[in-house]
Amino acid sequence: MLKLGVPSKGRLQEDTISWFEKRGLILKRTGSEREYTGSISGVDGIELVLLSAGEIPQELAKGRIHLGVTGADLIYEKLPLHEKQIYIVEEMGFGFADLIIAVPNVWIDVNTLHDLDAVAAQFRSEHGFRLRIATKYHNLVRKGLRDFGVSDYQLVDSQGATEGTVANLTAEAIADITSSGATLKANHLKLLSDGVLLKSQASIFASRTADWSRLGSTMKGLCKKMNWKDLVL
């Protein structure tokens, strides 16, 4: 049985169900809202698995599901070895979000990551500790800042309202997912001109570690329905 993991709730689940429905695959939750099981009609041999979007990367990596729908940001943050573990099948055209670096509006001379690097060095000299960047995305932020040569900073973990950490004096800058930028403006923060570290959207990923050996007919039917070429695993 081919296992397809999709988000268990929220707008991402609704858009996922709608996306598959337009292609002739009907996804339905079975049981109560507390039961994470479902059914699929349109192609035989597929089991629907309802998971949080954050769980799907690990389930793909461990081979417990064959296909999964989640954001690219979660895949790349949670799976440092993603090239060996998963394969992107298709971008779905919804769930858009950017991982960005933002600083206070009052930093009028800080508009680029190069500016941030210079300010970080000055900040450490004046305060005796590194400039703090609040984020949930430690792996992606480290990689993104390394690519731009920014080094004199420290990441502080934020699992709540990241945009509020600057006002609360627990960080000097933030790195977070944003879609509209409205929350940044409300918290008197600005996006650096080159501060988009990753552009993300909901995508279908395939597991390289799952057992695909007995799924030939199911995959043939699914690829035909979805208009996919054979998956490269």
Q: Which CATH number fits domain 97-200: 1.10.287.3510, 1.10.1370.40, 3.40.190.10, 3.40.50.1980?
A: 3.40.190.10
Pull the structure tokens for residue 179: 């879609």
Domain boundaries, the chain: 2-96+201-226, 97-200
Q: Provide the residue type at 16 as one letter.
A: T
Q: Is the pLDDT of residue 231 over 80?
A: no
User: What's the rounded mean pLDDT across residues 188-204?
Assistant: 95
pLDDT at 232: 61
CB 124 within 8 A of CB 152: yes
Dihedral angle computed from the Cα positions of residues 103, 109, 110 and 112, in that order, rounded to the nearest 10 degrees:
140
pLDDT at 208: 96
Domains 2-96+201-226 and 97-200 share a fold: yes
User: What's the rounded mean pLDDT across residues 169-181?
Assistant: 89
Per residue in 22-46, pLDDT tens?
999 999 877 655 556 678 989 999 9
Give the span between the Cα atoms of 37 and 58, in whole angstroms: 18
Q: Is the pLDDT of residue 230 over 90?
A: no
**Phi, psi values for residue 41, rounded to 5°:** -125, 150
Per residue in 50-69, pLDDT tens?
999 999 999 999 999 999 99
pLDDT at 183: 86
Burial of 43 (0-12, 13-18, 19+ CB in 10 A): buried
pLDDT cut 90: percent of the chain above it: 82
Per residue in 75-127, pLDDT tens?
999 999 999 999 999 999 999 999 999 999 999 999 999 999 999 999 999 99
- Across-strand partners of 80? none
Per residue in 141-167, pLDDT tens?
999 999 999 989 999 998 778 989 999
- What's the gap between Cα 90 and its chain centre? 15
CATH number of 2-96+201-226: 3.40.190.10
